[in-house]
Amino acid sequence: MAGDMKDFKELYTSSFVEHGPTAKGVGWQDADVQRRRFHMLMDDNQYGVASILDVGCGYGELVEFLNRTKRQWFNHVKYVGIDVVPEMIDVARARYQSIRSESRFVLSTRRFEQADVRDWGPHDQVAEQDIYDLVVCSGALRFHDMPEQLAMLDAMWAMTGKVLAFNTRHADAYLGDLSMILARFGSNNWRVRHDYGLDDMTVVVKR
């Protein structure tokens, strides 16, 4: 796993150095593709949500997206973004610090940390402060093999208080694995969408 993680971080760091804090810098085709995935991840998932964990947050673009599209709600939400690439976290923090807002609450509830979601403690001993109403993951599963993806999903589900939303490939071979993945969550409240014109699918699981 260590070698795969090193390759993964090198790939993203190289892309980020080349393209900077843009959609291409985090591996997406363009900003429109990035936004369409955000729409799928956040579609009707914000109700009753007061905290978000953004796994693989990159340079913090989900914060900007939510500021633009759901500001009235997002102004009152605690947000934490994590990523394994330190350069991205540095940029995300700088972007956050440049935000001007009249609300001290908003400024105090946006945080970015360099971290691997699998390292956030034993999954059966997650502290209450590490439980988030909504856990989202856009793109971070793409370059991991199945055992690593399952470990990441298990860690994310352990920190999910209400809703887990993630996107991943929807190739025919992967669709067969989806039933096994969904069974791990032990929830009958889920939906899968791959009708938005992109080569992936969005999965939403609720407790």
For residue 78, the domain's CATH number is 3.40.50.150
pLDDT in tens, 35-59: 888 999 998 777 889 999 999 998 8
State in Å, rounded, how far the first CA of the chain is from the last one: 30
What 63-68 contacts at long range (C-beta under 8 Å, 24+ apart), as own/partner pairs, is 63/92, 63/95, 63/96, 63/110, 64/95, 65/35, 65/38, 66/42
What pLDDT sits at residue 3?
A: 41
Give 2's pLDDT tier (boundaries 50, 70, 90).
very low
Backbone φ and ψ of 100, nearest 5°: -110, 125
Which domain, by its residues, includes 177? 2-206
b/e code 12-34 from CB counts within 10 Å (16+ = b): beebbeeeebbbbbbbbeeeebb
CA distances from 1 to 58, 80, 121, 148, 178 (A): 21, 25, 18, 8, 22
**Residue 129 DSSP symbol:** G
What pLDDT sits at residue 55?
A: 96
Give 162's pLDDT tier (boundaries 50, 70, 90).
very high
pLDDT in tens, 105-146: 555 578 899 999 998 755 555 666 689 999 999 988 877 788
Mean pLDDT of 86-99: 80
More confident residue, 171 or 124: 171
Domain tally for the chain?
1
pTM across the whole model: 0.82
**What amino acid is encoded at 135 in this protein?**
V
* pLDDT beyond 70 at 25: no
What pLDDT sits at residue 15?
A: 52
Give 177's pLDDT tier (boundaries 50, 70, 90).
confident
Give 3-state DSSP helix, strand, coil % of the chain, rounded to 5: 45, 20, 35
What pLDDT sits at residue 99?
A: 54
- β-strand pairing of 132-137 with 51-55: parallel
More confident residue, 31 or 75: 75
Q: Which residues contact 167 (CB under 8 A, 6 or more apart)?
A: 37, 40, 41, 137, 138, 139, 141, 200, 201, 202, 203
